[in-house]
Amino acid sequence: MVNNTIKFLIKKEDVGKRLDVMLSEKINNLTRSNLKKVIESHNVKVNKLIISSPSKKLKFNDEVLLNKTKNQYKEIKPANLKLNIVFEDKDVLVLNKPAGMVVHPGAGNYKKTLVNALIYKYKNKLSDINGDLRPGIVHRIDKDTSGLLVVAKNNNAHSKLGEQFSNHSIKRKYIALVWGVVRPLNGKIQTLISRNKRNRQLMSVSEINGKKAITNYITQKIFDIKNIPKISLLECVLETGRTHQIRVHFSYKGNPLLGDKQYGKKNLKFKKINKDFEKNLNFLNRQALHAKSLGFIHPTKNKFMIFNSPLPLEFKKLLNLLNKLASWKFLIKY
């Protein structure tokens, strides 16, 4: 392990300031939201005492120590995995993550994650704001969700992208297939989301605790086909990016995503089912959720950029089958 410690002695001009505010003014390559996470992770001491509150008010001559504990890259084994890169320059790369790939190492997943692939290709040429276990990782999408991610190649890019995620100016659209018809057809789901009390690996809507989560959605098509339960095609626009947000929100609405093994319908059994549909549903083998578009202001060019991703084969096949069975004259073009 290698310890990098940054030390500050509080002078008169910083007296009374919040801890996170002072640090954000002193450290140029970390945003206030990034530093808040550092503080809450118990990596900051004031007068040799660990402080976990970003709002801690500072006094004259307080000694502030910020610890960046770094794991060596060799602790994450590089993996020669294919990366579908959509865009790349010296600051960022945008890539298509396939369903089935975990974004970063965690419990039970240490070898074939996106981070293992990034370490293989870029070694240490990625931002380290989120530590060496998550190099370059600015945001995540679920293991069994496919689609677009932006990765930061340096701390300045990471900091500026992180700020856009914090103020919800990032533009993200998802395509989803859900069971049933969502009411109203178009709308906004706004709730609190917190850890599920019975299963800490899952999230749930809460009346009193949790983080605010907002999902806007538009019903694009309703499939009402003989021997197939009603299914809706939705376009979702995120205002926030909470863990499992879209999946939790539509499960809460009573319209879980097709193929969702955690929040979806359990032990699906049909009295009578279209065999082609059943075959394609089994072939899907993931939740029917795809991060279709991603837009952000480039961290150095200061230019808004937007990227789009086609649906992966298994998703597109199911959607085109539904379209065909519904007797429409055109195929879905996603």
d(CA 241, CA 287): 17
Residue 227 region by backbone torsions, left for phi larger than 0, else alpha for psi between -120 and 50, else beta: left
20-42 per-residue burial string, b: 16 or more CB within 10 A, e: under 16: bbbbbeebeebbbbbbbbbbeee
87-97 per-residue burial string, b: 16 or more CB within 10 A, e: under 16: eeeebbbbbbb
CB atoms within 10 A of CB 59: 12
d(CA 9, CA 25): 14
Which residue is catalytic, options 142, 224, 260, 276?
142
The answer to whether residue 142 is catalytic is: yes
Q: Which residues contact 333 (CB under 8 A, 6 or more apart)?
A: none
CB atoms within 10 A of CB 64: 21
Question: 29-34 long-range CB contacts below 8 Å, 24 or more apart?
Answer: 29/129, 29/155, 29/156, 29/159, 30/129, 30/155, 30/159, 31/159, 31/160, 31/162, 31/163, 31/166, 33/162, 33/163, 33/166, 34/129, 34/158, 34/159, 34/162
Burial class (CB in 10 A: 0-12, 13-18, 19+), 68: middle
Helix (H) or strand (E) holding 66: strand 63-70
Q: Which residues contact 158 (CB under 8 A, 6 or more apart)?
A: 34, 127, 129, 130, 136, 138, 152
- Catalytic residue annotation: 142
